[in-house]
Amino acid sequence: MLAFLKDPKAVALLLAASLTILSNMVISPALPGLEASFDGTENAALLTRLLVTAPSILVAIVAPLAGITADRFGRRRQLLFGVALFAVAGCAGAVLPTLPLILASRLVLGIAVAIVMTSQAALIGDYFSGAARGRFMGLQIAAVNFGGFAFIGLAGWLAGISPRLPFLIYGMGALILPFLLWAVVEPNRTTPAQAEGYEPEDLGGDANWPLTLGIVLVLSGLSFVLFYMIPTQMPFYLGTLGYDDPSAQAQVLAMVTLAGGFSALVFGAVRARLGRGMTPALGYLLMAGGFGVLDQAHALPFISLAALMLGGGFGLTMPTFFAIALDVAPAHRRGFASGAITTSIFLGQFLSPIFSTPMIGWLGYELTFAVAAGILLAMAAIVFGAFHRRPRPEARTYRMEPRRA
């Protein structure tokens, strides 16, 4: 971990990744204040809630195209453009005079997030390979989780002063842009046919990579459909149990985030020991156990335990899918692969309440949690069967020789 923090390129990619957690949740504490500010606007209640989900829709739509353009025109310039656009579109909400204009700025923010995520993920594939790539993916997920915990707390404090102030947090993009300009370099990329003397895994030598990527896309999207039941449904579930205090709801959600961060920190070591099939299978088993606890126990300590299991399992699962996609995709298609993964993630976020809300209305919360646990058990078996192989030494770390763009 310390080796990554001494590498300017690695630090730059971590900073870029930390921006993505801001896309949706950072303005959530400001929504009641914004709705009150625009109470004279038609459909103000709906429009204010769309401010949270609008970026996800654009990310899901734009990410594949952003991945293709990153492959064709270069990752570095696209990352820098995306970060600059992120800062402008994100901060615009602090000054725009009408709610529809703020919503339009949020759509542009989604485009910026798609550009940043795809180019940043592709650069990870270019800069690191083998065990180092897995360790970095875990460190990145941890940084995103811990960053989200801090930024949401800051947003809540700022929203207490003015509902417009949380939008200024997006200015972080402008603050880190000079460092990215200095630290990020455009790698030399060659196609497998052109490469000489490289290990197949350096360039993504899996001949069946489209099939493998397709499996990863389905699993990652479904993972987010199930996992996002926690932030979208948990506050309402706790209310039905009598835990109406927002602090209790915040405590449960914070445990999910922190557990995900800590488990992601050890992801590299776990993956090196268990392999790329057993690691996400273990994550799914933990998540299934968490939903099982929610199905059976109603006391807040047990719900908190379930939150720890869900967050910890998720922290082992999601880095695996990015790592597998970058492992199997050819070097000249890593932008496409990262764009496809990004689309599956944000599409899963969007579809989660559409899937869970009718099911809760039909079955109730407890049976819905039991169904989620059953699905996750099946996913554990699928991911183990699809990706497990005996771990082999991956001590060598390959880095492409960079050149300035």
d(Cα 126, Cα 331) in Å, to the nearest integer? 7
Whether pTM > 0.75 for this model: the answer is: no
pLDDT of residue 128: 77
The confidence score (pLDDT) of residue 336 equals: 80
For 128, 324, 340, 347, the CA distances from 216, given in Å and listed in that order, are 20, 8, 10, 14
State residue 387's pLDDT score: 78
**What pLDDT, on the 0 to 100 scale, is given for residue 175?**
93
pLDDT for 249: 63
Please check whether residue 192 is in contact with residue 203, taking contact to mean a CB–CB distance below 8 angstroms.
Answer: yes
pLDDT at 376: 95
Are the C-beta atoms of 93 and 167 separated by less than 8 Å? yes
Averaged pLDDT, groups of 10, the chain, 405 residues long: 72 84 73 80 77 81 84 85 94 91 92 89 78 74 74 78 89 92 76 36 57 87 88 78 70 78 80 84 94 88 91 86 77 76 83 85 92 95 78 43 44
